Amino acid sequence: MEMVMNTVWVMLGAILVILMQGGFILLESGSTRMKNAGHIAGKTIVTFGIGSLVFWAVGYAFIFGEHANFFVGLSHFFYSGYQIDGTDLSSSVFFLFQLAFATIALTIAFGGFAERAKFSTYVIFSILFSVIVYPVVAHWIWGGGWLAEHGKQDFAGSTVVHLTGAMAALAATILLKPRIGKYNKDGSVNAIYGHNQVFTALGVLILWVGWFGFNAGSTLSVADGFFGFVALNTNLAAGAGAFAALLISWLVLGKSDIGMILNGALAGLVAITASCAFVSAWAAVIIGFIAGILVFYSMRFFDNRKIDDPIYALSVHGTAGVWGTLSTGFFATKELATVGSPGLFYGGGFHQLGVQLTGVVVSGLYAFIVSFVILYVMKKLMNGLRVTEEEEIIGLDLSEHGTYGYPELIAKEKIS
């Protein structure tokens, strides 16, 4: 009976995480211009499909296969759905749950490509990222690799999913360079507004709900109802992140910036993802609140350095992912630290903080360097990653796909 309940619970979690792709479609299309909306929606579905096939063929084997070398495992290729001994839930459902996580990391990475990358770039990078980048970091931390042996705490993926995706996005933003019109010759920044803030807000709400599958689903069990505590921490951190972003935008900008509030909620969710099972409820509030402040300054930091990140993936998933990973080194309690050691504030000294910092640095560098090399080689072989200036101006809906996401409305608008 317990196996049945666990399987149903994790399957529900997998559905919620897959539904997060819908949240990303609304978030990314709403945060960018109308002329690229159909392109963004379509590439999300395509990359989810490609990521699923690659994970089935090799990704699952590299992450959870029998440990074979420093980088990956090497068994369970082309997973057939058979039950793996020693588990107390359906192995097929566990496979789907992990597949959903892998494709979320890929979607985060593509935030750095928005509004200027060729569609073929998405297709090829989907395959290479899913084979070479994500599985290695996931194996190190979740698949019994060397960081797992050191007690690295990352319950649902602040490092594995969010930081890995953000570092790939950073590599892309550097190689693609800023969108036309983003920066002036004197270095000043022009805001390029998204076309539908309602879409963006609805996308954030869908992601918020999906995060209960992300974090609470990662308990992989219904025993003693611990998933409820994880969900509580998740919700508190999201609320604190949104509130902190509201306060800082009010104080610094003199207005309550809606986009900042939305990113603050996401930053709180990203930050609590590593620590949701290891910290007390009050600590979840602190972690989310700090994430909401950090994302505000991180967005300004990248903007001022001419790193054009249209969806703010670097700040929401990168900066908040780093903070969330480090936070367990401070706040993990003796009672809840079932992986690794208690944090600094609970008598654990600097040991766990050092492990967390090592995980952040090594995983972040690996994801960035390998993604950069992949994209650099692609750039040389494909005569560039980016569409032409003319194609970027008319929009990727028309230039890459020959149609518009809003065919009835776009004819009335001047394409800018």
Domain of residue 321: give its range. Answer: 1-402
The answer to whether position 407 is within a domain reads no
The answer to whether position 356 is within a domain reads yes
Low-confidence ranges of the chain (pLDDT < 70): 409-416
CA 135/CA 244 separation, integer angstroms: 34
CA 265/CA 261 separation, integer angstroms: 6
Burial of 2 (C-beta count, 10 Å sphere; 0-12/13-18/19+): exposed
| pTM exceeds 0.85, yes or no | yes
Q: What is the pLDDT of residues 333-363, one digit of tens each?
A: 999 999 999 999 999 999 999 999 999 999 9
Identity (one letter) of the amino acid at 77? F
Q: What is the pLDDT of residues 391-402, one digit of tens each?
A: 999 999 999 999
Confidence (pLDDT) at 414: 54
CATH of the domain at 19: 1.10.3430.10
Total structural domains within the chain: 1
The answer to whether position 414 is within a domain reads no
Sequence length of the chain is: 416
The answer to whether position 38 is within a domain reads yes
Confidence (pLDDT) at 60: 96
The answer to whether position 353 is within a domain reads yes
Confidence (pLDDT) at 404: 85
Q: Cβ(240)–Cβ(261) under 8 Å?
A: no
The answer to whether position 362 is within a domain reads yes
Q: Cβ(287)–Cβ(272) under 8 Å?
A: yes
Confidence (pLDDT) at 413: 57
The answer to whether position 86 is within a domain reads yes
The answer to whether position 352 is within a domain reads yes
Confidence (pLDDT) at 34: 93
Identity (one letter) of the amino acid at 168? A
